[in-house]
Structure 1
Amino acid sequence: MLSSQDIEFFITVADSRSLAAAARKLNVTPPSVSQRLQNIERKLGVKLIDRNARLTSLTTEGEVLASKGQQLLKDLEHLTQDVSDKKLAISGELKLVSSLGFGEKHIGPLAAEFQSLYPSLRIELFLSDIPKWSAHNSPDIMFYIGHLQDSALKRIVLSKNRRLLLASPEYLKSAPPLDEPQDLELHRCIALRENDEDATMWRLTHIDTQRETSVRVVPVLSSNVSRVTKNWCIDGQGIIQRSEWDVKEELKTGKLVRVLPEYQLQEADIVALLSSDQFHRSQKVSAFLDYVKQKLPARL
């Protein structure tokens, strides 16, 4: 029978590129990792890791153990919290994932504020231009902006958000006319490559007629970092589409202006994604989620 320590050990191995990398994480020698892994495989009577390749990969049984084991550990943590006299104490580890720009500007500061309120809590924030939910090492909360493909996750809207087409006044002074979406093909366009979205297909809907138009732009500049693309736009390098929360200050100061304002882009609500429903969340997850819902609107 596997212990919780066995499961924690295997999840670390599953989340590592090699047994040597797992040994470094666990601060032990590679032979000891290999020996303990073999003991676990003997307990179960199945092979969990394919060691034929230079980099380890999980067998089908290994995939099941990593995925189910992660949930078992979370359930065990929740059970411990439920029967503990300190149920309301916010402690342990909280794992967060967020898109790069939004996480840097908003989730990072909110996480630091929250941790200062609960010193026994450890928060790990992972930022990525392509935030994904990992079955082997799933976060407690993932903050996401844009179209959501994985409908199995619980989705909580934190704030409504829309995307805008923008340019600098300096760029528009010498740019070709821009009256219809098709005119974008004659302009310098800047693409932000994030969330595995098609960054060069811009879809616009006329606000009054609801007529939809799709334009395939050929970006002269592209990046996976939103701050870089926004700075290019401010410097007069071309047209971008950005979330409204990220350009409020630039619109206010006139550094950027909206183009084709009679058209709207696809909405991109700011959401929190969780694997569990409200009745099965740990106290720390619920508390941080409530904190973000309370503080975030004032920051946007």
Structure 2
Amino acid sequence: MVSSQDIEFFITIAGSRSLAAAARKLNVTPPSVSQRLQHIERKLEVKLVDRSARFIALTPEGETLARRGQNLLQDLEHLTQEVADSKRTISGDIRLVASLGFGEKHIGPLAAEFQRQYPLTRIELNLSDNPKWAQHNSPDIMFYIGHLQDSSLKRIVLAKNRRLLLAAPDYLQSAPALTTPQDLEQHRCIALRENDEDATMWRLTHVNTGQVSSVRINAVLASNVSQVTKDWCIKGEGIIQRSEWDVKQELAEKTLIRVLPEYQLAEADIVALVGSERLHRSDKVSAFLEFVQHHLPARLAL
């Protein structure tokens, strides 16, 4: 039976122009390459290389060994990494910061799942309508949606995200016409105050022309809690601006309808913010980031 070392050796030969070239890659003498190749052929009882050719020419059996062997080595590498990861000791405190709605709906459940998988960790999750990175008592990871002014933090995009304008069918039945961004000035609008953003300045870009329109809405209702603003909108109180991840169910059930679909708001990617480069992060932080990157897309797709 051939070993993984034999397969790796033969793949080097298969990727070389000659046995001498393979010897140079392996930093050994050409006779030793020839001897080891013969040894592998004797193990398998087949000829792997046609030695009558000027350059290395694999026999059909050699082609099979090179092709399948490459896949086997890759599988072996993945298996080794998976086992090593499972044995990696992940322990210690992990401090997380996230926005209220997103943190409650997604980061909270993921944090609990991660802690069950790594019981030597302790996780503290702080939620806020205006998450901040405190310099003197900084979190390990801050989850953020939208544009962040502080460029000193390392930004890891977890998922793309659009913001949409939405209203309930009941509201639209009795509301004024809504065909341009300027029409919003005549409508009941609902503002979500979070992340120090100007909640009443809505900027929309026409998908086809690229024309940008800025509208200062008159917010008849405002809150710093996203669920409150969404509930108001569902009850027909006015128009909201919400992230697509937060209204998938309402759009599917048609309790909310997208308005001005030919216009787009500024994208608000879902990101993780950390204070150090990857090579300098602790195992616990790297493990949690990998966990979220793996599981978050499936949650957002629900």
- Give the aligned residue type for 1:217: I
Q: Show the counterpart of 1:203.
A: 203
Post-superposition Cα deviations, 1:109-146, rounded to whole Å, max 9, x if no partner, equal 00000000111100000000000000111000000001
- Distance in 1 between the 2:110 and 2:203 partners? 33
- Give the aligned residue type for 2:116: S
Post-superposition Cα deviations, 1:152-195, rounded to whole Å, max 9, x if no partner, equal 00000000000000000000000000000000000000000000
Task: Show the 5 A alignment for 1:256-295.
Answer: 256-295=256-295
Percent identity of paired positions between Structure 1 and Structure 2: 74
State the Cα distance separating 1:105 from its structure 2 match.
0.1
Given the alignment of the two structures, is residue 98 of structure 1 paired with residue 75 of structure 2, yes or no?
Answer: no
- Distance in 2 between the 1:271 and 1:229 partners? 23
Q: Show the counterpart of 1:242.
A: 242
State the Cα distance separating 1:148 from its structure 2 match.
1.1
Task: Show the 5 A alignment for 1:10-159.
Answer: 88-159=88-159
SS of corresponding position for 1:205: strand
- Distance in 2 between the 1:206 and 1:90 partners? 48
SS of corresponding position for 1:220: strand
- Distance in 2 between the 1:252 and 1:118 partners? 36
- Give the aligned residue type for 1:287: A
Q: Show the counterpart of 2:53.
A: none
TM-score (norm 1): 0.71
Any stretches of 5+ residues in structure 2 without a counterpart? 1-86
State the Cα distance separating 1:88 from its structure 2 match.
2.7
Q: Show the counterpart of 1:174.
A: 174
Post-superposition Cα deviations, 1:198-228, rounded to whole Å, max 9, x if no partner, equal 0000000000000000000010000000000
- Give the aligned residue type for 2:120: S
SS of corresponding position for 2:264: strand
- Give the aligned residue type for 1:235: K
SS of corresponding position for 2:251: helix
- Give the aligned residue type for 2:212: E
- Distance in 2 between the 1:147 and 1:180 partners? 25
Post-superposition Cα deviations, 1:8-47, rounded to whole Å, max 9, x if no partner, equal xxxxxxxxxxxxxxxxxxxxxxxxxxxxxxxxxxxxxxxx
**Rg larger in structure:** 2
State the Cα distance separating 1:247 from its structure 2 match.
0.1
- Distance in 1 between the 2:189 and 2:94 partners? 39
Q: Show the counterpart of 2:215.
A: 215
SS of corresponding position for 1:130: coil
- Give the aligned residue type for 1:285: V
TM-score (norm 2): 0.70
SS of corresponding position for 2:199: coil
Any stretches of 5+ residues in structure 1 without a counterpart? 1-86
- Distance in 2 between the 1:283 and 1:105 partners? 25
> Runs in 1 of length 4+ with deviation above 3 angstroms?
none
SS of corresponding position for 2:215: strand
- Give the aligned residue type for 1:156: I
